[in-house]
Amino acid sequence: MLAVPGRHRSLTLLIVTLVAQLLMLAVQIKRETHVRLIRVWTVDSITPFERVGTWMVRKVYGVFTGYIDLVHVRRDNLALHDELNQLRIRNTALEGEAAEAQRLDALLGFRTDHPEAPMLAARVIATSADTASHVVFLNRGARDGIKNNMAVITPDGIVGKVFEVYASTAEVLLATDKDSGVGALLAGTRTQGVVGGTGDPSLTMKYVSNDENVIPGQQILTSGEDQIFPKDLPVGTVTQVKPGNPFKQIQLRPAAHLDRLDEVLVLLTRQELTPKTPPVRVSPAPNSTAAPAAAPSTKPTTPTAKPNGAQQSHP
Amino acid sequence: MSAPLTNEQNIEVFQFRAGSIVGVTALALLLQAFLPVYFPRMRMLDLPLLITIYFGFSRRNPSTGLLMGATIGLIQDSLGRSPLGLFGIAKTLVGFLASSLGSRIDVENPISRLGLAVGFYLFHQAVYILTRRWLLGQPEPILSTQLWIAAAVNGVLAVLIFPLLDHLRKPS
């Protein structure tokens, strides 16, 4: 049971307390001094707790800000990773575009060097589903003027021949196919033979007598005897020579990059190619970046745009 | 929650767990002293005042309330640069009035707690400012937007922390 103090007692106490404090204030004002002793006691009592409190707050604040920083770092890290991935993709795309531009430049240069031969730029759109046959499909067909047995080349060398034509596509038998055969000759000696596919990325040259002097590194050019490819186009380079019975076994590395074909040129006639420089028009490949090859060009032909070895190998 | 009554008045008086009044008061003074160091906006809070009001409401003993207010006020004065007695006088009056009102009106309702806390804050500031003006000759603006905002903030804080302090009460 709690006894509530009487009303008068409380009022008396209130007045006494207030008067005491007013006097204390008056003393402080009169002497212009602070009551140092009470302050010292209070501050000395409170300060240790404040120190602990400050230490705790700093710790908690440090942990909290550390956590927030970590959250920000994690978020920034994710954003940077995302940006990095996007830039990688963009870089890959740009590298692809640059490579494509180089290829198109080479095609254009090649076409410019051979204005006498009508050519059609085409893009490889597919390859054979049959792994045993070396075949690619072009985005050009009969409606573009492509016919069977037309030669397909790149500035680097021969690719193969058209062996099936559809309305908007054409099927090309690559030189590396087992059924392929190209009339060829050894650069320098003009010894003729037939280059055929082996079913793997390399080529083989047949019907070269064991008496012929063939050395690795020697270039092989088209002979024109097959009535498909014009003369003196690069076919490949000798990589291995073995004596055989009755002919030498000659292995070649194709001049054209048949394993990564993208844009090619289809020779619309079997006109011999002689190097010239005036600009000419090439029909663009539909829906492809091969279009620049078809545009009228005033651009001077660069050395890299010329067919490798084709001109150097002229006797 | 109710304690036995006196012969004269039917007043519900709450008692608290041992040390809780001293502990809470010390904590309030401590927080008041160093929280603004990190959060300057918390300077508008007057935690010792809220503690004075709360214990005044709960104990409902004007003598205890005024002494507690005086003690808290003097400690608050001593932790600052102002002459001892400025906060002491203001909180003495608040402690006395809170204890007196606690025995007359419902101070358990959040709305009444909000209104009383705002009112006592304004009264406390008025006493403090007038004391400064009259006794120290240090004029301060009596009414300002800041004062009203601080009163509202302290009122809301009272509504929030008073229920927490209720847990310190001794079960009857």
Domain containing B144 equals: 20-166
| Gap between the Cα atoms of A129 and A96, Å rounded | 25
- pLDDT per residue as tens digits for the range A296-313: 333 333 333 333 333 333
Measuring CA to CA, how many Å separate B112 from each of A223, B101, B156, B162? 110, 11, 11, 12
| Gap between the Cα atoms of B139 and A115, Å rounded | 101
Dihedral pair phi/psi, residue B109, rounded to 5°: -75, 135
Tell me which chain A residues have a C-beta less than 8 angstroms from the C-beta of B96. Answer: 10, 14
Distance of CA A40 to the CA centre of its chain: 76
Tell me, letter by letter, the H, E, C secondary structure of chain A. CCCCCCHHHHHHHHHHHHHHHHHHHHHHHHHCCCCHHHHHHHHHHHHHHHHHHHHHHHHHHHHHHHHHHHHHHHHHHHHHHHHHHHHHHHHHHHHHHHHHHHHHHHHHHHHHHCCCCCEEEEEEEEECCCCCCCEEEECCCHHHCCCCCCEEEECCEEEEEEEEECCCCEEEEECCCCCCEEEEEECCCCCEEEEEECCCCCEEEECCECCCCCCCCCEEEECCCCCCCCCCCEEEEEEEEECCCCECEEEEEECCCHHHCCEEEEECCCCCCCCCCCCCCCECCCCCCCHHHHCCCCCCCCHHHCCCCCCCCCC
- Please judge whether A24 and B84 are an interchain contact, meaning their C-beta atoms are less than 8 angstroms apart: yes
Interface ipTM:
0.82
* B15 in any annotated domain: no
Range of weakest confidence among A302-311, B96-105, B160-169 = A302-311
Of these ranges, A16-25, A34-43, A50-59, A60-69, the one predicted with the greatest mean pLDDT is: A16-25
Residue pair A221/A262 in contact (Cβ under 8 Å)? The answer is no
* B33 in any annotated domain: yes
Tell me which chain A residues have a C-beta less than 8 angstroms from the C-beta of B5. Answer: 1
| Alpha-carbon distance A59 to nearest alpha carbon in chain B (angstroms) | 13
Predicted TM-score (pTM) above 0.90? no
| Gap between the Cα atoms of A111 and B15, Å rounded | 104
| Alpha-carbon distance A73 to nearest alpha carbon in chain B (angstroms) | 24
| The total number of structural domains that make up chain B | 1
pLDDT at A213: 87
- pLDDT per residue as tens digits for the range A133-192: 788 888 888 888 999 899 999 888 999 999 888 888 888 999 988 888 999 999 888 889
* Strand duo A203-206 + A249-254: pairing: antiparallel
Tell me which chain B residues have a C-beta less than 8 angstroms from the C-beta of A26. Answer: 135
* CA nearest to B81 within chain A: A34
The token pair that represents A42 in the structure block: 């209070």
pLDDT at A313: 32
* B95 in any annotated domain: yes
- Indicate the SS3 state at residue B44: helix
- pLDDT per residue as tens digits for the range A249-298: 999 999 998 878 888 999 988 766 665 444 434 444 444 443 333 333 33
Range of weakest confidence among A60-69, A206-215, B50-59 = A60-69
Mutation for testing the B interface, residue in A11, A12, A17 having most B CBs under 10 Å: A17
- pLDDT per residue as tens digits for the range A228-243: 898 888 999 999 998 8
Instruction: Provide the CB-side half-sphere exposure for B82 (13 A, CA).
Output: 19
pLDDT category of residue B108 using cuts at 50, 70 and 90:
confident
- Please judge whether A25 and B31 are an interchain contact, meaning their C-beta atoms are less than 8 angstroms apart: no
Mean pLDDT computed over every residue of chain A: 78
Helix runs in chain B, H state only: 20-38, 47-59, 62-78, 86-102, 110-131, 145-166
pLDDT at B126: 92
Asked whether residue B40 carries a pLDDT value surpassing 80, the answer given is: no
The token pair that represents A155 in the structure block: 């500035």
| Gap between the Cα atoms of A185 and A99, Å rounded | 31
- Please judge whether B83 and A28 are an interchain contact, meaning their C-beta atoms are less than 8 angstroms apart: yes
Tokens 């404040």 locate to A50
- Indicate the SS3 state at residue B60: coil
- Which of A17, A34, A61 is opposite residue B70, by nearest beta carbon? A17
| Gap between the Cα atoms of B95 and B64, Å rounded | 8
Tokens 């005897």 locate to A225
Crossing angle for the helix pair B47-59 and B145-166, to the nearest 10 degrees: 50
| Gap between the Cα atoms of A286 and A283, Å rounded | 9
Residue pair A194/A205 in contact (Cβ under 8 Å)? The answer is yes
Start-to-end Cα distance in chain A: 129
The token pair that represents B169 in the structure block: 């009460």
Tell me which chain B residues have a C-beta less than 8 angstroms from the C-beta of A19. Answer: none
Q: Pick A296 or B124 by higher pLDDT.
A: B124
pLDDT at A305: 33
Say if A49 is an interface residue toward chain B (CB within 8 Å). Answer: yes
Burial class, B53, CB count within 10 angstroms (exposed 0-12 / middle 13-18 / buried 19+): buried
Tell me, letter by letter, the H, E, C secondary structure of B91-109. HHHHHHHHHHHHCCCCCCC
Say if A60 is an interface residue toward chain B (CB within 8 Å). Answer: no
| Gap between the Cα atoms of A229 and A225, Å rounded | 8
Instruction: Give the CATH number, domain containing residue B149.
Output: 1.10.1760
CATH of domain A102-305: 2.40.10.340
Say if A277 is an interface residue toward chain B (CB within 8 Å). Answer: no
* Strand duo A170-174 + A135-138: pairing: antiparallel
Tokens 């009169």 locate to A30
* CA nearest to B61 within chain A: A4
Say if A28 is an interface residue toward chain B (CB within 8 Å). Answer: yes
Instruction: Provide CB contacts within 8 A for A245, sequence distance 6+.
Output: none
pLDDT at A253: 93
Tokens 């003393």 locate to A27
